[in-house]
Amino acid sequence: MFGAQASAVHQCDSGWVPVLVGQDGSISLMSIGFLLERPDDAVVWRGPKKNALIKQFVADVAWGELDVLVVDTPPGTSDEHLAVVEALRPHTALAAVLVTTPQAVAVADVRRELTFCRKTGVRVLGLVENMSGFVCPHCSECTNIFSKGGGEELARHAGVPFLGCVPLDPQLSQSLEEGRDFIQEFPRSSAFPALAHIAQQILDGTLQPSS
């Protein structure tokens, strides 16, 4: 999505140097993808090995001063999630943004993620409903391909903030496939105002003192 697949990570005195992306190199990336020899390699590891690498990604990367560290996790409530919480808790105020699609099977997964956050004491900044409706570019009719409203209903039930709905947007998908800058290039797309609104709320939430 950042067009950084071919990047390599090297070592400096203070650890691994992250890959710098974004307009002025202001975003530092670290991914296991940078450490694989071939892009088709699979990471067939058991929990303890994954946990060790996650710890290294926190402790042994020369992150420097960061405003925010975003950790993109796989779905579920597994080794990776616990390892991330354990590795980061001593350093910073943790908070989670949960993303679901509207249909019941996805919402059920995210309900379990909410329980995970509660049990591990991770503050929930809010819930996002992605792929929430598709507006036809020809006739502007909105079709709710994956049903509608599941995320908002879950947020209400769980008593966490609902951050907003992101529609299915071919321009968003295109921009991610081609590693283009969505914010610069697609300001008139249907997902843009939704994402901007969600980002602002997350920013407001992370600037608040954590409870």
Binding region for ligand ATP (CB under 6 A): 74-75, 130-131, 166, 168-169, 172-173, 176, 191
Distance in Å, CB of 168 to ligand ATP, minimum? 4
By beta-carbon proximity to ligand ATP, the closer residue of 160 and 168 is: 168
Distance in Å, CB of 74 to ligand ATP, minimum? 6
Q: How far is CA 122 from CA 68, 84, 97, 171, 206, in A?
A: 16, 11, 10, 33, 13
Distance in Å, CB of 207 to ligand ATP, minimum? 25
Distance in Å, CB of 194 to ligand ATP, minimum? 8
In the list Zn ion, ligand ATP, none, the entry touching 139 (Cβ below 5 to 8 angstroms by class) is Zn ion
Q: How far is CA 73 from CA 64, 93, 96, 121, in A?
A: 22, 17, 10, 17
In the list ligand ATP, Zn ion, none, the entry touching 130 (Cβ below 5 to 8 angstroms by class) is ligand ATP
The DSSP string of 62-96 is ---S-S-----PPSSSSHHHHHHHHHHTTTS--EE
In the list Zn ion, ligand ATP, none, the entry touching 172 (Cβ below 5 to 8 angstroms by class) is ligand ATP
Tell me the window of 12-20, 41-49, 96-104, 139-147 that interacts with Zn ion (CB under 5 A).
139-147
Backbone CA torsion sign across 88, 93, 94, 97: negative
Distance in Å, CB of 90 to ligand ATP, minimum? 26
Q: Which residue of 6, 12, 42, 136 would you call a contact of Zn ion, by CB under 5 A?
A: 136
Report the C-alpha gap between 176 and 173 in whole angstroms. Answer: 5
Q: Considering the rule CB under 5 A, would residue 134 count as an interface residue with Zn ion?
A: no
By beta-carbon proximity to ligand ATP, the closer residue of 131 and 160 is: 131
User: DSSP secondary-structure letter at 38?
Assistant: S
Report CA 190 to chain centroid distance, whole Å.
Answer: 20
In the list ligand ATP, Zn ion, none, the entry touching 168 (Cβ below 5 to 8 angstroms by class) is ligand ATP
By beta-carbon proximity to Zn ion, the closer residue of 47 and 137 is: 137
Backbone CA torsion sign across 94, 154, 54, 19: negative
What residues form DSSP beta bridges with 117?
none
In the list Zn ion, ligand ATP, none, the entry touching 169 (Cβ below 5 to 8 angstroms by class) is ligand ATP
137 Cβ contact partners less than 8 Å away, ≥ 6 residues apart: 170
Report the C-alpha gap between 51 and 78 in whole angstroms. Answer: 11
